[in-house]
A and B are shown apart, each in its own frame.
Chain A
Amino acid sequence: MSVASLTAARSFVPTPSRPVGTVEGRRAFAFKGVGKQFGDKTVLDGIDLDVPAGQFLAVIGKSGCGKSTLLRLLAGLDQPTSGSLSLGAAEEGHSRTRFMFQEPRLLPWASVVRNVEVGLTGIAAGDEARQRAVAMLGEVGLADRAGEWPSVLSGGQKQRVALARALVGQPQILALDEPLGALDALTRIEMQRLLERIWLDQKFTAVLVTHDVAEAVALADRVVVITAGRIALDIDVPVARPRRRGSAELARLEGEILDTLLN
């Protein structure tokens, strides 16, 4: 597929909030007319979405609107019924797509660092895997818990281990399925900051599915609203980072998105 046909896609919007040089000419993934049906129930219908590499995209919708399905299609956990999904070129030394689930899904019988090493399956093994896992645990602030069992960690700490596991393989795309939904408000904001910091650092493409509009506008370059299986709104969040929660600009965007969701 040529670059020209990409830019012609309806929803392609360059992201002004990040330096254009890092994304130019590279695309993380594109959905073209993607539909998904389970039996005779249509979950997604004619989704066109073109996402440049390095973008932070948030996908919002009411529960059951198909936003999680979108993410599962992206991660290859499901196949689309119609349309096509294309991924950008694979880069050497990077895993393609990593998925962060709503629950931490840590192996209870493996120590924290061994859980992070799961993210290096097929990429690195032995001492190298251990070193990379320990380094990644340092990134999420849990270097001192490497040897412990997951059962002694708090909910927020478990999700940080899951984040380390997702990122240790340096993925090109990180798919996040409401990973912060079960955390308390303060832990949640802490995790959002951590996620933003690591994203700025590692420059992967992030796709965050959430039902929290404030979270979406605080983190994302671009917000897509899905209602009844279709894209109802696709807007940029042209607010410089670091962003101040509760600023007038973010509040205005939040209002616009909520109007679309609740009309």
Chain B
Amino acid sequence: MRLAERLARSGTAGWLLPAAIIAGWEAASRAGLIPANVLPAPSAVAEAFWRLTLSGELIQNIAVSTARALSGFAIGGAIGFLLGLANGLSRLSRGLTDTTLQMIRNIPHLALIPLVILWFGIDEEAKLFLVALGVFFPIYVNTLLGIQSVDPHLVEMGRVYGMGGRELFFRVILPGALPSIFVGLRYALGIMWLTLIVAETISASSGLGYMAMQAREFLLIDVVVLSILIYALLGKLADSLARLLERLSLGWHPAFQSR
């Protein structure tokens, strides 16, 4: 009982299952249950990892993909955040833009790939555009929702106590919207990787997706699997960072207390 409890608390519990899966997979591969041309053993993937790390190819591709993901995220996230703020605070702005945005939101952004290739070719802009578009909506929707769900009683209290627009925004409205904004942030990080993988797989001359597609051409299945695992790790890393930020800035929230 005590061991189970300590495991649950320490956060290592989450890694038990992946570790068990890898061990089982290795055993099955060694026993010949999984043919190497279907799924290489974890040790083979680790070897590929080492080979590509030594050649510098892996680090470079990760750097290229991360830079693309983050710059697309910064552009789409910033626009989404600002529009969410504007539409949450101003009825006029919401009236003007919200209907249009809701219509665009219903188009799956990956459906735009053919159009995007026609517009931008397979250059960096195409990937930036797709990531930014994918990230925009979760951030926009949740920022808007967060501001609209701020307790109007608190806003009235702030006014009665003489807060001006600026103070009201920074002391009441923004902190009140923050939990919802974080939901949008974490959701957007997921979409960021998804979009980038698809965009890099379809058209790229560098990056993790390109590395995976090249490996497929040469039947290097270990490299394909490696790329997929790295995507998983990068996604997890981004999510953990967002959670950390969330814990740091939402210490007041009952859900984040006494843990």
Q: What 19 new A-B contacts, CB under 8 Å, besides A109-B250, A110-B171?
A: A75-B160, A95-B162, A105-B156, A105-B157, A107-B154, A107-B172, A107-B175, A108-B252, A108-B253, A109-B252, A109-B253, A110-B175, A118-B158, A119-B161, A121-B163, A122-B162, A150-B252, A151-B252, A151-B254
- A122, B252: Cα distance in complex, Å: 25
Interface string of A148-163 (1 = CB under 8 A from B): 0111100000000000
Interface assignment of A99: CB less than 8 Å from any CB of chain B: yes
What residues on A are CB-neighbors of B253 within 8 Å? 108-109, 151
- A101, B253: Cα distance in complex, Å: 22
Interface residues of B, count at CB 8 A: 21
Interface assignment of B123: CB less than 8 Å from any CB of chain A: no
What residues on A are CB-neighbors of B158 within 8 Å? 118
What residues on B are CB-neighbors of A77 within 8 Å? 156, 160
CB contacts under 8 Å to A, within B127-183, are: 153-154, 156-158, 160-163, 167, 171-172, 175-176, 178
Interface assignment of B257: CB less than 8 Å from any CB of chain A: yes
**What's the least CB distance linking A115 to chain B, in Å?**
10
- A105, B160: Cα distance in complex, Å: 12
Chief secondary structure at chain A's binding surface: loop
Interface assignment of A215: CB less than 8 Å from any CB of chain B: no
**What's the least CB distance linking B90 to chain A, in Å?**
22
Choice from A109, A118, A149 contacting B175 with Cβ under 8 Å? A109
Interface assignment of A139: CB less than 8 Å from any CB of chain B: no
- A149, B250: Cα distance in complex, Å: 11
**What's the least CB distance linking A166 to chain B, in Å?**
9
**What's the least CB distance linking B118 to chain A, in Å?**
47
Residues of A whose CB lies within 8 Å of any CB of B are 75, 77, 95, 98-99, 101, 103, 105, 107-110, 118-119, 121-122, 149-152, 165
What residues on B are CB-neighbors of A101 within 8 Å? 153, 157
Q: Which of A95, A108, A150, A165 gathers most chain B CB within 10 Å?
A: A108
- A108, B172: Cα distance in complex, Å: 10
Residues of B whose CB lies within 8 Å of any CB of A are 153-154, 156-158, 160-163, 167, 171-172, 175-176, 178, 250-254, 257
**What's the least CB distance linking A161 to chain B, in Å?**
12
What residues on A are CB-neighbors of B156 within 8 Å? 77, 105
What residues on B are CB-neighbors of A149 within 8 Å? 251-252, 257
**What's the least CB distance linking B51 to chain A, in Å?**
50
What residues on B are CB-neighbors of A98 within 8 Å? 160-161
Q: Which residue of A lies closest to B179 (CB)?
A: A109
- A77, B160: Cα distance in complex, Å: 8
What residues on A are CB-neighbors of B163 within 8 Å? 118, 121
Q: Which residue of A lies closest to B151 (CB)?
A: A105
- A107, B172: Cα distance in complex, Å: 7
- A258, B257: Cα distance in complex, Å: 47
Please list the 3 inter-chain residue pairs (A to B) with the smallest Cβ-Cβ separation, ordered nearest first.
Answer: A109-B175, A105-B157, A109-B252
**What's the least CB distance linking B56 to chain A, in Å?**
46
Q: Which of A75, A121, A151 gathers most chain B CB within 10 Å?
A: A121
What residues on B are CB-neighbors of A107 within 8 Å? 154, 171-172, 175
**What's the least CB distance linking B234 to chain A, in Å?**
31
What residues on A are CB-neighbors of B178 within 8 Å? 109
Q: Which residue of B lies closest to A120 (CB)?
A: B161
Give 23 pairs: A residue, B residue, CB < 8 Å, sorted on A. Answer: A75-B160, A77-B160, A98-B161, A101-B157, A105-B153, A105-B156, A108-B252, A108-B253, A109-B175, A109-B252, A110-B171, A118-B157, A118-B161, A118-B163, A118-B171, A119-B161, A121-B167, A150-B252, A151-B253, A151-B254, A151-B257, A152-B257, A165-B161
Q: Which residue of B lies closest to A114 (CB)?
A: B171
- A152, B254: Cα distance in complex, Å: 9
What residues on A are CB-neighbors of B160 within 8 Å? 75, 77, 98-99
- A98, B176: Cα distance in complex, Å: 23
Are A121 and B162 CB-contacts (below 8 A) given A107-B154, A107-B172?
yes
- A105, B176: Cα distance in complex, Å: 13
- A98, B159: Cα distance in complex, Å: 11
**What's the least CB distance linking B99 to chain A, in Å?**
30
Q: Which residue of A lies closest to B158 (CB)?
A: A118
Choice from A109, A151, A165 contacting B176 with Cβ under 8 Å? A109
- A150, B253: Cα distance in complex, Å: 10
Q: Which residue of B lies closest to A103 (CB)?
A: B153
- A150, B252: Cα distance in complex, Å: 8
Q: Which residue of B lies closest to A122 (CB)?
A: B162
Q: Which residue of A lies closest to B251 (CB)?
A: A149
Q: Which residue of B lies closest to A104 (CB)?
A: B157
- A122, B164: Cα distance in complex, Å: 9
Q: Say whether A121 contacts B161, CB under 8 Å.
A: yes
What residues on B are CB-neighbors of A118 within 8 Å? 157-158, 161, 163, 171
- A110, B252: Cα distance in complex, Å: 7
What residues on B are CB-neighbors of A151 within 8 Å? 252-254, 257
